[in-house]
Structure 1
Amino acid sequence: MQTAHLREIVASTALRLGPDAPTLCSPWRVQDLMAHLVTREHRADVLPGIALAQGPLGRHTDAVRARVAARTPLEALAEQVRSGPASWFPTRWSTLDAAVNTAELAIHHEDMVRAQPGWAPTVLPTPVQESLWQALRRGGRVFYRTAPVGVVLVAEGMARPRLAVARPPADAGTVVLRGTPLELLLHAFGRTDVARVEAQGAPEDVRALAGHRRGA
């Protein structure tokens, strides 16, 4: 299962960096990010607040995460991430785990790695990259639904490498984004500044897409 590989590298990277290392999810540090990963798989009551971050639901989710971060050593958080969801959690079912957690784990791993000075892209095995590409094929259109230009993703090394995720408006062209599935996933999830993708298109269209806000 590809999530097992991702869980292992998330746990190992967190322990290597330490609890106070920065992440791209500022102001969260590594300790906070790991607490987020643990609570979303062990506390069903926090899930509504993840989807609806504003208001009382979001405040409850953040309060639970903060308590877990304050009370649980990083070593214990890493072991919980490595071990996976609670035994009663729906994502214990491997198919659902892959659908829900593949992208989440990959992105948050890079949130730790790429916040450090002198970072280098993570090299993932081909099966993991294929899983990330499938995640993009399932949900990529959601992230580019308000894009001001057309968007086509081209994934390096994949059997079906081309995916149109947004049609161009009448007054704009299309931007082609090329990179590995991991880099394309980071771009789709709003990590534009650290995603190593090649953008091809008219300069004005590339600029317009660079200013398009996405996030998850």
Structure 2
Amino acid sequence: MIRHARAERASLCDTFLQVGPDAPTLCGDWTTAQLLAHLIVREGRPDKAAGILTPKLAGRTEKAMAGLLRDNDFESLVERLRRGPARWHPASVPFVDEQANLVEMFVHHEDVLRAGLGAPRRSLDPAMISALGDRLAVMAKVLFRRAPDADIELVTAKRRTRVSSGKGPVVEIHGRPGEILLFGFGRQAVAEVELIGPPDAVEAVRTTAYGL
């Protein structure tokens, strides 16, 4: 089994070390150090990570992130992320790691790469593209659940996925799986996709706040 999530984790960690702790990201006003702390809390402190999805508990998560950055140097935190989940964590099982972490690592890696390096887009190998496509097919209905009154169809080289009710005009989102995932996680400004459909519906789909 190819460990795409593990490979993407290692690549992200390399990028963290390349750009340092103060580089910008696409995660609001977070620096790379804050994004790194987010990833570690998410994976290593489930008791503190609830604020990631529950706004009322956000202060608890932010406090845990701040504590990590206060008590550890950036390089040691990068190596902590590189080591991956602890043995007690479900994602220590390779299959679970692929399901839980491939997209997380990919999206946040692109958050760093597209925020400040000015480098050409990565050329992903076909196996990685296929793995991202599989995750997109599973996650599509959740990612695009806030879609406006349009019938969204995701179109990649390998599949078409209809994700909405069928009651509105059809808007097709064409692109590589990773780019559609970025779009679906709210990175519309940097996602390299093409939207096809009635202009008003396309604009509504382009400007809706998506994500988990």
Matching residue's letter, 1:61: T
Give me the whole-angstrom Cα distance separating, in 2, the residues matched to 1:46 and 1:137.
Answer: 30
Matching residue's letter, 1:152: E
Q: Is the 8 A contact 1:49 1:59 kept in 2?
A: yes
In structure 1, what is the equivalent of residue 94 of structure 2? 94
Give me the whole-angstrom Cα distance separating, in 2, the residues matched to 1:20 and 1:95.
Answer: 33
In structure 1, what is the equivalent of residue 48 of structure 2? 46
Partner SS, residue 162 of structure 2: strand
In structure 2, what is the equivalent of residue 164 of structure 1? 162
Task: Report how many aligned residue pairs link the two structures.
Answer: 209
Q: How do residues 66-85 of structure 1 correspond to structure 2 at under 5 angstroms?
A: 66-85=66-85
Q: Is the 8 A contact 2:144 2:211 kept in 1?
A: no
Matching residue's letter, 1:18: G
Matching residue's letter, 1:113: L
Matching residue's letter, 1:163: T
In structure 2, what is the equivalent of residue 27 of structure 1? 29
Name the Cα RMSD after superposition.
1.5
Q: Is the 8 A contact 1:114 1:120 kept in 2?
A: no
Report how far residue 78 of structure 1 moved: 1.6
Q: How do residues 1-216 of structure 1 correspond to structure 2 at under 5 angstroms?
A: 1-52=3-54, 54-55=55-56, 57-116=57-116, 118-148=118-148, 149-156=150-157, 158=158, 161-169=159-167, 172-216=168-212
Give me the whole-angstrom Cα distance separating, in 2, the residues matched to 1:17 and 1:94.
Answer: 28
Matching residue's letter, 1:104: E
Give me the whole-angstrom Cα distance separating, in 2, the residues matched to 1:211 and 1:36.
Answer: 26
Give me the whole-angstrom Cα distance separating, in 2, the residues matched to 1:205 and 1:80.
Answer: 44
Q: Is the 8 A contact 1:191 1:215 kept in 2?
A: no
> Which region of structure 1 is more displaced relative to structure 2, 62-71 or 186-195?
62-71
Q: What is the aligned-residue identity percentage?
A: 35
Give me the whole-angstrom Cα distance separating, in 2, the residues matched to 1:174 and 1:167.
Answer: 10
Report how far residue 71 of structure 1 moved: 2.4
Instruction: Calculate the TM-score normalised by the size of structure 2.
Output: 0.93
Partner SS, residue 44 of structure 1: coil
Report how far residue 117 of structure 1 moved: 5.4
Give me the whole-angstrom Cα distance separating, in 1, the residues matched to 2:207 and 2:46.
Answer: 35
Matching residue's letter, 2:122: T
Structure 1: runs of 5 or more not aligned:
none
Q: Is the 8 A contact 1:39 1:46 kept in 2?
A: yes
Give me the whole-angstrom Cα distance separating, in 1, the residues matched to 2:45 and 2:145.
Answer: 31
Partner SS, residue 6 of structure 1: helix
> Which region of structure 1 is more displaced relative to structure 2, 81-90 or 102-111?
81-90
Give me the whole-angstrom Cα distance separating, in 1, the residues matched to 2:14 and 2:109.
Answer: 10
Runs of 4+ aligned structure 1 residues displaced above 3 Å come to none
Provide, for residues 87-125 of structure 1, a one-character-per-residue CA deviation record: whole Å limited to 9, x for no partner: 221211111111111110000001111111524322222
